[in-house]
Amino acid sequence: MGDRTFRTNEKKAAAVATTSRDGPDLQDALSWYRQMVIARRFEEETERAFRRGKIGGYLHVYSGQEAVAAGFLAEIRPDDIFFTSYRDHAHALFRGSPPGAVMAELFGKAAGLARGKGGSMHLFDVPRGFYGGYGIVGGHIPLAVGAAYALRYRGGDQVCLCFMGDGAINSGAFHESMNLAGLWGHAGLCPLVVIVENNQFAMGTSLAQSSAITELARRFDAYAIPAERVDGMDFFEVRAAARRAVAQARGAGRPVAVEALTYRFSGHGAADVFQPYRTKDEIEQARRRDPIASLEARLREAGLLDDSRVSAILDEAEAIVQDAVRFAEESEAPAPDALTTDVYGDGA
């Protein structure tokens, strides 16, 4: 394991520590801290496996953004569903997909979450309500709107989460979908929560260069969708916003949006080595706001973590990730006949 300590912004941690939280929330936060540590360690390992040639294609890692997916997935029920883009590994892990099956998918193995047919960008775990990672920026947004409609049409009170990046906000798909969501929300038929994971860059193009307004929550005003902006590096803040948004969407069957300000520590994808669009100093500054470190500081303050417990969690994460790699390495490649299955069903 490379970096065993997560650096934090002391002032920020102190501010969080003075906010009153109830006990059960903190206990639960401790379990999410553990999951975020596992996800971070998992992503570090995927980058290594990519360099070793074990993972092909594209690889987009989530390091730095963990509090966003964790905060939202902590607030939905097992029968709720979600969609996301191609930066999707942590979402699967947080929802309980076996790390071995996630890693096996990245390794292109039959035991992978999508039988080795989707790869890093197309993780799916439908029994757990994960309706997929998608590779065309913005292309999954209308799917989530229709899925939300279907949930309500069928009479349940489930919600659908739609994670998207800041880059997707300029796509026509976003605007057409939000207009539909707003319209269907008027009729109480769109229990959708849109989460804009604003990590400041659409690939290598900064938000200021790509969006005429940089406060992305305001984009939702045009579609009668209430939206708020939160610090996406702060698990508690994200989680509180998620709780409000999910309750509203579930209760009224109307869409709600949250813009989470976050930052990715790695390149856009594994091929983005030099990152000429940002400075090392900027990354360093962002790392001082590491969401895992700030959550850790908060849990230390509350007496739920100390050095030995942190060390035990790191060791456990290491073991889980190494098991996942071993499972992926030892799994079989898809059989040749898998090439032509899953193109059509039996119906027609």
Answer whether 29's CB lies under 8 Å from 299's CB. Answer: yes
- Contact between 98 and another protein by CB under 8 A: the answer reads no
User: Which C-beta is closer to another protein: that of 148 or that of 299?
Assistant: 148
Question: What DSSP line would sit under 30-79, residue for residue?
Answer: HHHHHHHHHHHHHHHHHHHHHHTTSS-S-----TT-HHHHHHHHTTS-TT
Q: Which is nearer to another protein, 193 or 238 (CB)?
A: 193
Query: Is-contact 129 79, C-beta < 8 A?
Result: yes
Query: What is the separation of C-alpha 67 from the centre of its chain, rounded to a whole number of angstroms?
Result: 8
Stretch that binds another protein, among 70-78, 122-130, 223-231, 294-302 (CB under 8 A): 122-130
User: Total residues at the site for another protein (CB under 8 A)?
Assistant: 50
Q: Which is nearer to another protein, 212 or 343 (CB)?
A: 343
Give the CA count within 13 Å in the CB-facing half-sphere of 262: 33
- The reply to whether 124 sits near another protein by the rule CB under 8 A is yes
Backbone angles phi, psi at 62, to 5 degrees: -105, 0
Binding status of residue 344 toward another protein by CB under 8 A: yes
d(CA 321, CA 99): 7
Site for another protein in 227-246 (CB under 8 A): none
Stretch that binds another protein, among 68-76, 182-190, 217-225, 249-257 (CB under 8 A): 182-190
DSSP one-letter code for 140: T
Site for another protein in 138-157 (CB under 8 A): 139-151, 153-154
Shortest approach of another protein to residue 137 CB, angstroms? 11
Applying CB under 8 A, among 14, 15, 136, 222 the residue interacting with another protein is 136
CA 301 to chain centre: 27
Instruction: Tell me whether residue 50 or residue 134 sits nearer to another protein (CB atom).
Output: 134
Single-letter code of the amino acid located at 325: V
List of residues contacting another protein (CB under 8 A) = 81, 83, 112-118, 122, 124-126, 131-132, 134-136, 139-151, 153-154, 172-173, 176-177, 179-180, 183, 187, 189, 341-348
